[in-house]
Amino acid sequence: MRFEISNSPLQISLVVPVRDEELSLARLVSSVRAQTRQPDEVILVDGGSNDRTVALARELFAGDERFRVVEAGPASPGRGRNVGAGEARYPWVAFTDAGIGLEAEWLERLAEKVSEEPETDVVYGNFEPLTRTFFERCAAVAYVPPKVVRDGETLRGPSIASTLIRREVWRRAGGFPDLRAAEDLIFMERVAALGARTRWAPGATVWWQLQPTLALTFRKFALYSKHNVWAGRQRFWHYGVARQYALAAPFFALAALHSVWWLAVPLLGLAARAGKSVWRHRDGRGLLWALNPAQLACVALLILTIDLATFVGWARALLTRADAATAEQGTVA
DSSP letter at 153 equals E
Identify how many contiguous H helices and E strands the chain contains and give both numbers.
Answer: 13, 10
Confidence (pLDDT) at 250:
96
Q: For residue range 213-237, what is the model confidence (pLDDT) as tens digits? A: 999 999 999 999 999 999 999 999 9
What is the Cβ-side half-sphere exposure of residue 254, based on CA atoms within 13 angstroms?
11
Q: Residue 129's beta-bridge partner residues?
A: 208
Name the band, by pLDDT with cuts 50, 70 and 90, for residue 323. low
Name the band, by pLDDT with cuts 50, 70 and 90, for residue 331. very low
Q: Is the pLDDT of residue 81 over 90?
A: yes
* DSSP code per residue over 265-316: HHHHHHHHHHHHHHHHT-TT--HHHHT-HHHHHHHHHHHHHHHHHHHHHHHH
Q: Is the pLDDT of residue 4 over 90?
A: no
Cα-Cα-Cα-Cα torsion 309, 156, 135, 142, nearest 10 degrees, comes to: 50
Residues 86 and 96: their CA atoms lie apart, in Å, by 16
Domain boundaries in the chain? 12-209, 214-327
The fourth-level CATH superfamily of domain 12-209 is: Spore Coat Polysaccharide Biosynthesis Protein SpsA; Chain A (3.90.550.10)
pTM: 0.88
Q: Is the pLDDT of residue 268 over 70?
A: yes
Distance in Å from the first CA to the final CA of the chain: 19
Q: Is the pLDDT of residue 9 over 50?
A: yes
Q: For residue range 153-196, what is the model confidence (pLDDT) as tens digits? A: 889 989 999 999 999 999 999 999 998 889 999 999 999 999 99
Strand, helix or coil for residue 150:
strand
